[in-house]
Amino acid sequence: MLNTEFARDPRDVAPELLNKLIVAEDRVARIVEVEAYCGEEDPASHAYGGKTARNSVMFGPPGRLYVYFTYGMHWCANVVCGPEGLARAVLLRAASPVFGLDEMRLARPRARRDVDLCNGPAKLCQAMGIDGSMNGTELIDARGRLAIFDDGVDPPPTPGVGPRVGISAGTDLPWRWWVDGDSCVSAR
Protein backbone atom coordinates (compact mmCIF):
# COMPACT_ATOMS: atom_id res chain seq x y z
CA MET A 1 0.00 0.00 0.00
CA LEU A 2 1.53 3.26 -1.09
CA ASN A 3 1.68 6.22 1.24
CA THR A 4 -0.23 8.39 -1.22
CA GLU A 5 -3.21 6.08 -0.93
CA PHE A 6 -3.78 7.33 2.61
CA ALA A 7 -3.80 10.97 1.49
CA ARG A 8 -7.52 10.78 0.78
CA ASP A 9 -10.82 11.01 2.60
CA PRO A 10 -10.95 8.35 5.35
CA ARG A 11 -14.46 7.44 4.25
CA ASP A 12 -12.91 6.25 0.98
CA VAL A 13 -9.80 4.74 2.56
CA ALA A 14 -11.60 2.84 5.34
CA PRO A 15 -13.50 0.24 3.25
CA GLU A 16 -10.37 -0.28 1.15
CA LEU A 17 -8.40 -1.20 4.27
CA LEU A 18 -10.65 -4.22 4.81
CA ASN A 19 -8.73 -7.47 4.14
CA LYS A 20 -5.38 -5.65 4.19
CA LEU A 21 -2.70 -7.05 6.50
CA ILE A 22 -1.40 -5.14 9.49
CA VAL A 23 2.14 -6.18 10.34
CA ALA A 24 3.79 -5.39 13.68
CA GLU A 25 7.20 -6.96 14.02
CA ASP A 26 6.55 -10.71 14.16
CA ARG A 27 2.75 -10.55 14.17
CA VAL A 28 0.33 -10.29 11.24
CA ALA A 29 -3.45 -9.88 11.19
CA ARG A 30 -6.06 -9.21 8.51
CA ILE A 31 -8.13 -6.07 9.08
CA VAL A 32 -11.84 -6.88 9.22
CA GLU A 33 -13.43 -3.79 10.82
CA VAL A 34 -12.68 -0.06 10.56
CA GLU A 35 -14.23 3.35 11.30
CA ALA A 36 -13.67 6.76 9.71
CA TYR A 37 -13.20 9.92 11.81
CA CYS A 38 -13.37 13.28 10.08
CA GLY A 39 -11.34 15.72 12.12
CA GLU A 40 -12.61 19.03 13.44
CA GLU A 41 -15.93 18.69 11.60
CA ASP A 42 -16.74 15.34 13.24
CA PRO A 43 -18.25 15.58 16.76
CA ALA A 44 -17.06 12.03 17.52
CA SER A 45 -13.44 12.71 16.56
CA HIS A 46 -10.68 13.45 19.05
CA ALA A 47 -9.81 16.32 16.71
CA TYR A 48 -13.22 17.94 17.25
CA GLY A 49 -12.41 21.20 18.97
CA GLY A 50 -8.97 21.58 17.47
CA LYS A 51 -5.40 20.47 17.84
CA THR A 52 -4.08 19.39 21.24
CA ALA A 53 -1.02 17.59 22.47
CA ARG A 54 -2.81 14.25 22.34
CA ASN A 55 -4.26 14.46 18.82
CA SER A 56 -1.38 16.31 17.14
CA VAL A 57 -0.34 13.30 15.03
CA MET A 58 -3.72 13.41 13.27
CA PHE A 59 -2.96 16.93 12.09
CA GLY A 60 0.29 15.77 10.50
CA PRO A 61 1.01 13.86 7.28
CA PRO A 62 -1.10 10.88 6.20
CA GLY A 63 0.26 7.35 6.50
CA ARG A 64 1.24 7.60 10.14
CA LEU A 65 -0.23 5.76 13.10
CA TYR A 66 -2.22 7.75 15.69
CA VAL A 67 -2.20 5.77 18.94
CA TYR A 68 -4.21 7.02 21.91
CA PHE A 69 -4.72 5.90 25.49
CA THR A 70 -8.24 5.64 26.87
CA TYR A 71 -10.28 4.40 29.85
CA GLY A 72 -7.13 4.50 31.94
CA MET A 73 -5.81 1.25 30.50
CA HIS A 74 -6.36 0.77 26.76
CA TRP A 75 -4.48 1.71 23.59
CA CYS A 76 -6.23 2.14 20.23
CA ALA A 77 -4.73 2.76 16.80
CA ASN A 78 -5.72 4.87 13.78
CA VAL A 79 -4.23 5.38 10.33
CA VAL A 80 -3.94 9.10 9.60
CA CYS A 81 -5.56 9.99 6.27
CA GLY A 82 -5.93 13.15 4.21
CA PRO A 83 -6.04 15.79 3.06
CA GLU A 84 -3.06 16.66 5.22
CA GLY A 85 -3.82 18.98 8.10
CA LEU A 86 -7.50 18.07 8.41
CA ALA A 87 -6.91 15.50 11.16
CA ARG A 88 -8.84 12.73 9.47
CA ALA A 89 -8.16 9.11 10.29
CA VAL A 90 -9.33 5.49 10.19
CA LEU A 91 -9.68 3.58 13.46
CA LEU A 92 -8.57 -0.06 13.27
CA ARG A 93 -11.37 -1.80 15.17
CA ALA A 94 -10.80 -5.50 14.58
CA ALA A 95 -8.62 -8.00 12.76
CA SER A 96 -8.28 -11.72 12.13
CA PRO A 97 -4.99 -13.24 13.36
CA VAL A 98 -2.83 -14.61 10.53
CA PHE A 99 0.69 -15.13 11.88
CA GLY A 100 2.42 -14.94 15.25
CA LEU A 101 -0.54 -16.29 17.19
CA ASP A 102 1.72 -17.58 19.97
CA GLU A 103 2.98 -14.07 20.61
CA MET A 104 -0.57 -12.71 20.51
CA ARG A 105 -1.75 -15.25 23.05
CA LEU A 106 1.11 -14.32 25.35
CA ALA A 107 0.23 -10.64 24.98
CA ARG A 108 -3.45 -11.33 25.70
CA PRO A 109 -3.73 -14.05 28.33
CA ARG A 110 -7.36 -13.04 28.97
CA ALA A 111 -8.38 -14.16 25.47
CA ARG A 112 -10.01 -17.57 25.78
CA ARG A 113 -10.38 -18.22 22.05
CA ASP A 114 -8.20 -17.07 19.15
CA VAL A 115 -11.20 -15.13 17.85
CA ASP A 116 -10.92 -12.94 20.95
CA LEU A 117 -7.31 -11.91 20.24
CA CYS A 118 -8.02 -8.95 17.93
CA ASN A 119 -11.82 -8.48 17.91
CA GLY A 120 -11.81 -4.95 19.32
CA PRO A 121 -9.68 -1.81 18.93
CA ALA A 122 -7.88 -2.19 22.26
CA LYS A 123 -7.60 -5.96 21.94
CA LEU A 124 -6.02 -5.54 18.52
CA CYS A 125 -3.37 -3.22 19.93
CA GLN A 126 -2.69 -5.46 22.90
CA ALA A 127 -2.34 -8.56 20.71
CA MET A 128 -0.15 -6.81 18.15
CA GLY A 129 2.01 -5.13 20.79
CA ILE A 130 1.01 -1.61 19.73
CA ASP A 131 1.24 1.10 22.39
CA GLY A 132 1.93 4.82 22.81
CA SER A 133 5.57 4.45 21.89
CA MET A 134 4.38 3.87 18.31
CA ASN A 135 2.31 7.06 18.11
CA GLY A 136 3.35 8.90 14.94
CA THR A 137 5.16 5.92 13.40
CA GLU A 138 5.30 5.77 9.60
CA LEU A 139 3.26 2.79 8.42
CA ILE A 140 4.94 2.44 5.07
CA ASP A 141 8.63 2.53 5.89
CA ALA A 142 9.93 -0.97 5.27
CA ARG A 143 12.46 -0.44 8.04
CA GLY A 144 9.78 0.47 10.52
CA ARG A 145 8.21 -1.90 12.98
CA LEU A 146 4.77 -1.32 11.53
CA ALA A 147 3.28 -1.65 8.07
CA ILE A 148 0.03 -2.18 6.24
CA PHE A 149 0.48 -4.72 3.51
CA ASP A 150 -1.59 -5.74 0.50
CA ASP A 151 -1.20 -9.48 -0.12
CA GLY A 152 -3.63 -9.50 -3.04
CA VAL A 153 -6.84 -10.21 -1.15
CA ASP A 154 -9.35 -7.64 -2.36
CA PRO A 155 -11.65 -5.74 -0.01
CA PRO A 156 -15.17 -7.18 0.06
CA PRO A 157 -17.30 -5.81 -2.81
CA THR A 158 -20.20 -5.26 -0.43
CA PRO A 159 -18.89 -4.74 3.12
CA GLY A 160 -21.15 -4.29 6.11
CA VAL A 161 -21.88 -0.61 6.76
CA GLY A 162 -23.34 1.06 9.84
CA PRO A 163 -22.96 3.60 12.65
CA ARG A 164 -19.76 3.78 14.65
CA VAL A 165 -19.41 2.07 18.02
CA GLY A 166 -18.79 3.52 21.46
CA ILE A 167 -19.44 7.17 20.67
CA SER A 168 -22.05 9.56 22.03
CA ALA A 169 -22.10 12.11 19.19
CA GLY A 170 -22.33 11.58 15.46
CA THR A 171 -24.14 8.30 15.99
CA ASP A 172 -26.27 8.94 12.89
CA LEU A 173 -23.28 8.74 10.55
CA PRO A 174 -22.69 5.32 8.90
CA TRP A 175 -18.92 5.50 9.01
CA ARG A 176 -18.13 1.96 10.17
CA TRP A 177 -17.31 -0.81 7.73
CA TRP A 178 -16.65 -4.51 8.30
CA VAL A 179 -16.09 -7.78 6.48
CA ASP A 180 -19.57 -9.23 6.60
CA GLY A 181 -19.71 -12.64 8.23
CA ASP A 182 -16.17 -12.61 9.65
CA SER A 183 -16.08 -14.05 13.17
CA CYS A 184 -13.56 -11.43 14.35
CA VAL A 185 -15.82 -8.41 13.80
CA SER A 186 -16.35 -6.75 17.18
CA ALA A 187 -20.06 -5.93 16.95
CA ARG A 188 -22.90 -7.49 15.00
- Contact, 150 vs 1, CB < 8 A? yes
Q: What is the DSSP string of 80-134?
A: E-SSTTS-EEEEEEEEEEEE-HHHHHHH-TT-SSGGGSSSSHHHHHHHHT--GGG
Say how far apart CA 133 and CA 146 lie, in whole Å.
Answer: 12
Rounded-to-5 percentages of helix, strand, coil across the chain: 20, 30, 50
Window 32-71: contact mask with DNA (x via CB under 7 A): ---x-x------xxxx-x--xxxx--x-------x-xxxx
19 counts as binding DNA under rule CB under 7 A: no
27 counts as binding DNA under rule CB under 7 A: no
User: What is the torsional sign of CA 187, 130, 25, 155?
Assistant: positive
**In the complex, least distance from residue 122 CB atom to DNA, rounded to whole angstroms:** 3
8 counts as binding DNA under rule CB under 7 A: no
- Contact, 22 vs 92, CB < 8 A? yes
176 counts as binding DNA under rule CB under 7 A: no
Among 2, 73, 142, 181, binds DNA (CB under 7 A): 73
Q: Which is nearer to DNA, 19 or 119 (CB)?
A: 119
155 counts as binding DNA under rule CB under 7 A: no
> DSSP character for 138?
B
Among 13, 65, 67, 76, binds DNA (CB under 7 A): 76
Q: Which is nearer to DNA, 69 or 99 (CB)?
A: 69
Say how far apart CA 63 and CA 80 lie, in whole Å.
Answer: 6
**In the complex, least distance from residue 158 CB atom to DNA, rounded to whole angstroms:** 24
Residue list 80-119, contact with DNA (CB under 7 A): 89, 91, 108, 110-111, 116
Residues that bind DNA (CB under 7 A): 35, 37, 44-47, 49, 52-55, 58, 66, 68-74, 76, 78, 89, 91, 108, 110-111, 116, 120-124, 164-168, 186
